[in-house]
Structure 1
Amino acid sequence: MRVPDLFDRRGASARPDPARRRRGAVAVGASAVAMLTLAAVTQLTGVAAAGSIASGTQFYVYPNSAVMKWDAANPGDSREPAIASQIASQPQGIWFANYNPSTVQSDASAITSAAAAAGKTPVLVMYNIPNRDCGGASTGGAPDTASYKSYVQSFANGLGTHQVIVILEPDSLALQTCLSSSQAADRDAALAFAGQAIHAADPAAKVYMDAGHSSWNSPSAQAAALNAASVKTSADGIFSNVSNFMNTSDEVNYDKQVLSALGNPSNLHIVVDTSRNGNGPAPGNPWCDPSGRALGQPPTANTGDPAVDAYLWVKPPGESDGCADAAGTFDPALAYALIVNGPTRSSSPTPSATSASPSASPSNSPSASASPSQSPSQSPSSSPSASVGSGPCHVTYANSSTWPGGFTASVTINNTGTAPINGWTVTFRYNGDQKVTNAWGATASQSGATVTLTNVSYDGSIAPGGTLTGVGMQGTWTSSNAAPSNFTLNGAACS
């Protein structure tokens, strides 16, 4: 049975807040699926827990995910063994982010039937609420509440009677700043309807509602939002930390405070997204592809805490937040960094001296941060600077997104010489008042207006004629975001 491609290409850039977001899947060939099937299931064992999900539950790995496609297409990449064994083999969220009312029932049925045949439980992420992302980077979803309810009913009808976990509308309750009181009431009613419709159609389904994360709203405020959406009668629990990096212990403590503010209803439990929180949040809590992050607790229902039903990888690791690449793109450099940044790892390749990071295949699920702060522009600006020197030096800097007070930018390095570059340092000078706050694919330092970028372990080599992408930064500005100049590569002027 072919598992359908569920996701659109609606991408997102960023928000300067510790909020987050999205991921997805693209199709792989039948031979690749067959090759990966045996690795596509995580075996989880344990004794029954007091929560809503038995601790021995085995989660389903979606064979059409972006990491599966990359893995099948890049068997010779030195990072492939680590990515295959530590990311592709793990079950991850399957996002219903494309509003396709005519196919959603069959899409859901295909996945739940395939998972049931394998004896596994899929994690499905419903992401189509009207006014999604408050019109920001991941704007979209159903056009109105009536359409949403019809869409959800079709989705529910496709679940069959199989056990599934439904992560219901990330950000829908943590982010409502754009809604009027009547719109908020409509959303609350829509979410209550969704939980009830899913339970009515599939009594084995477990539904979890949005609790944001521990650095966003207060427990009492989040509990009030959940209560307004009838969480006690429409859901089996709450979820937090989707696509963010907060420590698991902080999330569990926060979620328990939310449940306490709800009166500790016995039917509600907790799930936490642990996909990228192995090193906790980056300094300052940047959410958009921050460097230094690591894989977190692998997905399991054997949590050892009766209040916590599962630790899940809701956000697929290695898919960009919209800074390193277009949002939702699977980037092997990001994926590999999550592995090597962890405290322990196996199957750790050493990239060949002449290989550059391969270009990533775009994922089809949107990615966005949700936060109370202003969303940056999703449309890339034109490249503010492209400098080419007389020697083997070609460095291009381009704004990826800008918003009042902030920006993201990418740096591309072309080796136009005849010898490989083994280790690189790029410097340039900002002509505005920009300050770099975060970088990926490089370590960054800034002295006055001068920025220095130095390769990290996995992208220091560029073959002759090769091009290195996946390097970039996020920053702030006050009065001017003027184009930089004075580029050098390993000390050689590029202007």
Structure 2
Amino acid sequence: MAAIAGATAAGVCLAVGSASAGTISGPLYRDPSSAVVRWVAANPGDSRAAVIRDKIASQPQARWFANFNISTAQSEAAAYVGAANSAQQIPVIAVYQITNRDCGGASAGGAPDLNQYQTWVSNFSRGLGNQTVIIILETDSLALLTCLNSSEINARNQAISTATRTIKSANPNAKVYLDAGHSTWNSAGETANRLRAAGVQYADGFFSNVSNYNSTSSEANFGRAVISSLNGMGISGKRQVIDTSRNGGASGDWCGDDNTDRRIGMYPTTNTGDSNIDAYLWVKPPGEADGCRYTAGSFQPDLAYSLANGVANPPTTAPPTTPPPTSAPPTTPPPTTPPPTTPPPTTPPPTTPPPTGNGCSASVALNQWSGGFTASVTVTAGSADINGWTVTVTLPSGTAVTGVWNAQASGTSGTVRYTNVGYNGRVGAGQSTNFGFQGTGTGPGATASCAAA
């Protein structure tokens, strides 16, 4: 990427120069009523305020539409988009309304059913005007499907496809991106399959890293692989946007509430210098909690300060900022966004060679924190395709499984068997798929074996 300078002392790359992006150009909108701007305005004497003001509040971030209200959807969209249009800046909106979002987890909510979801989308779309607006459509809606059966997955795919076309019909200049999870969740091929099923052919592309902290380079490589897979399906011209709001520091414990090594990443820009990437965005607002120490979605100044401390100032080519708020806060409160469901492991998985013949192997990578852990399991086919798999995981004494994704579990402690779900049972020769689980107790010491169906 020719327009990206070297890393700063804090490990943050900054976009500079005049190289073009993918299909979007122009400054992004800085919301003058965001939680961080309101906090800075209310706490001018706080010792953290200058750092938070200069490095976070100064930057454009997404507005989340997360509270379901059909009657106000149009007016709220029109007010936000209208303010951005008046500032001659591009608004970024994260739509987070899908039925059964977050599989009923920490960020449960959204529309009561898909018919009401479509009504909300129709009303919302009428408020989008006719200028460029970036729509991040339903975080985790395609990467996290474990709570849905096959008919429910099909219904969700249809709902997202219809929503995309509704938005594009109402505003042909809207840029709509669908959920691609992140580079340490589903494989690029599996992600492309899910995007196709959800109508990415009608969208402008996909977004990644909203629910994680993976490096920009890892996400860009993942995006190129997804684009290649889509091209192989006859779906061309799709591009990526990457959330860089919290990916500038060390990996480790997935919960941003507790990790003081993480930093903000690239400042938001449409000037990426990469024809595959339309923008680097701050979709998840820096300083908003993941739900471990604090209420999910709440703005916490100590988190914001930790993310910004020691990071270089924004580049001089950053978009102009909008003035501090002069009106009351928006009626839509900050969203409760989900913590990442499959954090990057702190220890690499063991190097287990793929089996020969019609078999499979499994490896476990763990991320431990006080009192709990998450595990990412990689299932690899041997020299022949497999159509179904069972992974047996032996857990240490005192460990209990509390959640699972991309698999069906039998048991919660001791020896637990995981079988594929409908969409990830078939694995090509030498290829891999992933599932994961979360638990309490001590995860290290878990072992896994695989048997093909």
Residues 190/294 of structure 1: CA separation in 2 closer, same or farther (3 Å cut): same
Question: Shift in Å at residue 367 of structure 1?
Answer: 2.5
Residues 150/295 of structure 1: CA separation in 2 closer, same or farther (3 Å cut): same
Does residue 224 of structure 2 align to residue 253 of structure 1?
no
What is the distance in 2 between the residues matched to 1:475 and 1:152?
Answer: 36
Does residue 9 of structure 2 align to residue 53 of structure 1?
no
Letter in 1 for 2:219: E
Judge conservation of contact 1:214–1:251 (CA < 8 Å) in 2. yes
What is the distance in 2 between the residues matched to 1:108 and 1:124?
Answer: 9
Of 321-330 and 249-258, deviating more is: 321-330
Question: Shift in Å at residue 47 of structure 1?
Answer: 5.3
Does residue 92 of structure 2 align to residue 123 of structure 1?
yes
Deviation by residue 1:195-248 (Cα, 9 ceiling, x = unmatched)? 10111000110000000000100111111110101101x200110000421000
For 1:215, the equivalent position in structure 2 comes to: 184
Residues 289/171 of structure 1: CA separation in 2 closer, same or farther (3 Å cut): farther
Does residue 173 of structure 2 align to residue 204 of structure 1?
yes
Question: Shift in Å at residue 369 of structure 1?
Answer: 2.3
Question: Shift in Å at residue 324 of structure 1?
Answer: 2.7
Does residue 22 of structure 2 align to residue 62 of structure 1?
no
Question: Shift in Å at residue 183 of structure 1?
Answer: 0.6
Aligned partner (choices 268, 284, 291) of residue 322 of structure 1: 291
Counterparts of 1:64-463 in structure 2, within 5 Å, are 64-232=33-201, 234-263=202-231, 265-280=235-250, 282-283=251-252, 285-286=254-255, 289-340=258-309, 342=311, 344=312, 364-369=334-339, 371=341, 406=372
Residues 372/332 of structure 1: CA separation in 2 closer, same or farther (3 Å cut): closer
Letter in 1 for 2:54: S
Letter in 2 for 1:277: N
Letter in 1 for 2:337: S
Structure 2 portions without partners, runs of 5+: 1-14, 315-331, 344-370, 374-396, 400-437, 444-453
SS in 1 for 2:70: coil
Question: Shift in Å at residue 283 of structure 1?
Answer: 2.6
For 1:477, the equivalent position in structure 2 comes to: 441
Residues 263/288 of structure 1: CA separation in 2 closer, same or farther (3 Å cut): farther
What is the distance in 2 between the residues matched to 1:96 and 1:284?
Answer: 28
Judge conservation of contact 2:212–2:340 (CA < 8 Å) in 1. no
SS in 2 for 1:174: coil
What is the distance in 1 between the residues matched to 2:157 and 2:258?
Answer: 31
What is the TM-score of this pair, normalised by structure 1?
0.62
What is the distance in 2 between the residues matched to 1:130 and 1:61?
Answer: 29
Question: Shift in Å at residue 157 of structure 1?
Answer: 0.6
SS in 2 for 1:246: coil
For 2:347, the equivalent position in structure 1 comes to: none
Residues 70/132 of structure 1: CA separation in 2 closer, same or farther (3 Å cut): same
Deviation by residue 1:24-80 (Cα, 9 ceiling, x = unmatched)? xxxxxxxxxxxxxxxxxxx9983544x2212xx101111221101110110001111
Structure 1 portions without partners, runs of 5+: 1-42, 347-361, 374-404, 408-431, 435-473, 480-495
Letter in 2 for 1:304: G
Residues 240/339 of structure 1: CA separation in 2 closer, same or farther (3 Å cut): same
Letter in 1 for 2:227: L
Judge conservation of contact 2:20–2:274 (CA < 8 Å) in 1. no
Question: Shift in Å at residue 159 of structure 1?
Answer: 0.3
What is the distance in 1 between the residues matched to 2:175 and 2:231?
Answer: 20
Judge conservation of contact 1:320–1:326 (CA < 8 Å) in 2. yes
Residues 274/328 of structure 1: CA separation in 2 closer, same or farther (3 Å cut): same
What is the distance in 1 between the residues matched to 2:151 and 2:341?
Answer: 21
Question: Shift in Å at residue 478 of structure 1?
Answer: 5.8
What is the distance in 2 between the residues matched to 1:45 and 1:98?
Answer: 39
Residues 82/370 of structure 1: CA separation in 2 closer, same or farther (3 Å cut): closer
SS in 2 for 1:209: strand
Judge conservation of contact 1:52–1:206 (CA < 8 Å) in 2. no
What is the TM-score of this pair, normalised by structure 2?
0.67
SS in 2 for 1:329: coil
Moved runs in structure 1, 4+ residues, more than 3 A? 43-49, 284-289
SS in 2 for 1:365: coil
Question: Shift in Å at residue 339 of structure 1?
Answer: 1.4
Judge conservation of contact 1:292–1:341 (CA < 8 Å) in 2. no
Deviation by residue 1:408-429 (Cα, 9 ceiling, x = unmatched)? xxxxxxxxxxxxxxxxxxxxxx
Judge conservation of contact 2:297–2:335 (CA < 8 Å) in 1. yes
Judge conservation of contact 1:318–1:335 (CA < 8 Å) in 2. yes
Letter in 2 for 1:173: L
What is the distance in 2 between the residues matched to 1:153 and 1:73?
Answer: 36
For 2:447, the equivalent position in structure 1 comes to: none
Letter in 1 for 2:23: S
Deviation by residue 1:67-109 (Cα, 9 ceiling, x = unmatched)? 0111011000111111111100100010000001100100000
Aligned length: 325
What is the distance in 2 between the residues matched to 1:219 and 1:288?
Answer: 29
What is the distance in 2 between the residues matched to 1:372 and 1:100?
Answer: 30
Letter in 1 for 2:334: N
What is the distance in 2 between the residues matched to 1:228 and 1:370?
Answer: 23
